[in-house]
Amino acid sequence: MRVGISLTSAYTVSDPREAARWMIERAAAARGADLDSLFIGDHHSTGPGTYYQNTPMMGRLLAEWGDRPAGVLFLLPLWNPVLVAEQVGTLASIHTGRFIMQCAIGRDDEASPAMGVNAKYRPSMFEESLDIVRRLLQGETVSSDGRFHFSNARISPITPEPLEVWIGGSVSPSIDRAARIGEGWVADGTRSGNAEIAAQTADYLERAQVHGRVPTAVAVRRNVFVGRTDEEAAEVLAPILDGFTGDRTSMLFGSAETVARQLQPLAEMGVTDIIVRSLIPQQHRLTMESIDRLAEVRERVRDL
């Protein structure tokens, strides 16, 4: 099992430079911890909180990261696919390693009307957009008169290597879509416990076999805090855990040994990549210490 990181992009800060610096320092710490991958997410119309947009931020983070796999999430229905292809081609050309495009249809929330998108068309927009992005990044000249309307689009640079796409989804239609047209799948395990992830993973692996595809990744996001001891982790997270009624297996916390042990059930399900997110992103010092301790977690789980 590989251990990667997804940096939180949303913060409540008085000076937007502060949390931007946190993200840069966390990317450098993740490299120091020898983590296997680096990702950031995608969201729009986020006020009043501060949200750092994915393409410019990843361009900066790559300067700290090195040549291990890196990638960006795009909620494809909210984007012009020509612009997505241009952003991916540029980021992949900046990066010295393997670049992965994560994508999803997104939730039916305030972002869709803010971006001028009719939410009921998101599934068809997603598939059309991904097809366009792939073709553009293969060097084709593309026109479209479907959900997206444009003529004779062509981009450069294209990705130095064939585009690798991991598709996010947690319900059966989106899981089937990931198995049918993606190279990998990403489950949002920040909301789901082990039992739910096990069912989703089995569904995905079955659908991939039906569609004749061999996944490059079966990835799960998990919120995490690695403390010096189990007791320290429980103390730090007491405000979060107090009154929490969800499935505790949706969170990873404790010492490095404990967190590594909590990953064992995911490995047994067939998960290949755990993508960790900070349980306490507003607490920079503790998040940095947790990232440092992920080096030990990675060493303990590398053979799972």
CATH number for position 255: 3.20.20.30
Determine the Cα–Cα distance for residues 165 and 93; give it in Å rounded to an integer.
16
Residues paired with residue 38 on neighbouring β-strands, in sequence order: 5, 70
Domain of 124?
2-301
Which of these, 218, 258, 217, lies nearest to 237 by C-alpha position? 258
At 48 the pLDDT is 83
Q: Return the pLDDT at 107.
A: 79
- The domain tally of the chain equals 1
Query: Which pLDDT belongs to residue 59?
Result: 98
Helix axes 256-269, 194-210, angle to 10 degrees: 40
Report the pLDDT value the prediction gives residue 119, as an integer from 0 to 100.
Answer: 87
Cα distances from 28 to residues 86, 236, 260, in angstroms, run: 26, 23, 22
pLDDT for position 132: 98
Give the integer Cα–Cα distance in Å for 248 and 139: 46
pLDDT tens for the chain, 304 residues long, are: 999 999 999 999 999 999 999 999 999 999 999 999 999 999 998 878 899 999 999 999 999 999 999 999 999 999 999 999 999 999 999 999 999 999 999 877 788 888 888 889 999 999 999 999 999 999 999 999 999 999 999 999 999 999 999 999 999 999 999 999 999 999 998 889 999 999 999 999 999 999 999 999 999 999 999 999 999 999 999 999 998 888 889 999 999 999 999 999 999 999 999 999 999 999 999 999 999 999 999 999 987 7
Residue 272 has a pLDDT of 97
